[in-house]
Amino acid sequence: MAAERISEWITTFDTVFPNHVNPLGTLFGGRVLELMDVNAAIACWRFCRLPSVTASTEPIDFRAPIYVGEIIELRSRVAYVGRTSMIVRCEVFGENPTSGERRLCTVGHMNFVALGRDKKPAPVPKLRVETELERHHHKVAQTIRESIAARRNQPLI
Ligand SMILES: CC(C)(COP(=O)(O)OP(=O)(O)OC[C@H]1O[C@@H](n2cnc3c(N)ncnc32)[C@H](O)[C@@H]1OP(=O)(O)O)[C@@H](O)C(=O)NCCC(=O)NCCS
């Protein structure tokens, strides 16, 4: 049986420059998605040590805006693994750099597939789930896994 591996949280920081905001001074959703994709990909690479591609994303709710000049903190962790795929939970926080006020603005899940040298899906390690929170995130991701299976064979049009 393949050895289990833990998945660490991967944290990256960025800031909101004026070229990434709308006329209201809040960060574009597309920029958040880009940062989430990179942060989540690093979580996968560190977990399976294989190149991994984004296969799909789950609905993402932008619950609170992040303002120009604020700190963006992203943290991702592999929450569930299949045979060759990984479901990553990604959390995005906005932080006022002067007051220190920090809030959770967005949570999303992104689905990655590891590729071997032949560029075909390759097996990933099993995920060790230890804490209560990890078990909760694993359960949420299990539901996502079921929804991926249900929609996979639907035609794109
Ligand atoms: C993702 C990709 C490699 C899957 O290839 P595939 O031939 O469909 O793979 P398979 O049918 O062998 O499935 C392999 C795994 O991928 C998963 N998978 C396939 N399509 C998926 C999707 N849309 N969402 C989530 N998982 C998916 C399967 O569930 C399976 O998981 P498992 O091994 O854990 O059970 C392929 O669709 C691809 O290359 N897509 C483009 C990726 C890309 O370019 N991303 C960048 C953004 S454009």
- What are φ and ψ of residue 53, in 5° steps? -115, 150
pLDDT tens track for 7-41: 999 999 999 999 999 999 999 999 999 999 999 99
Measured from CB, residues less than 6 Å from any atom of ligand 1 are 53-56, 82-85, 111, 113, 121, 148, 152
Per-residue confidence (pLDDT) for residue 2, from 0 to 100:
65
Q: Which CATH class is domain 4-152?
A: alpha beta
Token reading at 109? 């899940």
C-alpha 76 to ligand 1 mean position (Å): 20
Pocket test for ligand 1, best of 36, 78, 113, 144 (most atoms within 8 A of CB): 113
Contact assessment for residue 109 and residue 56, using Cβ atoms and an 8 Å cutoff: no
User: DSSP label at 144?
Assistant: H
pLDDT tens track for 104-138: 999 999 999 999 999 999 999 999 999 999 999 99
User: DSSP label at 24?
Assistant: T
Contact assessment for residue 112 and residue 41, using Cβ atoms and an 8 Å cutoff: yes
Confidence of residue 1 (pLDDT cuts 50, 70, 90): low
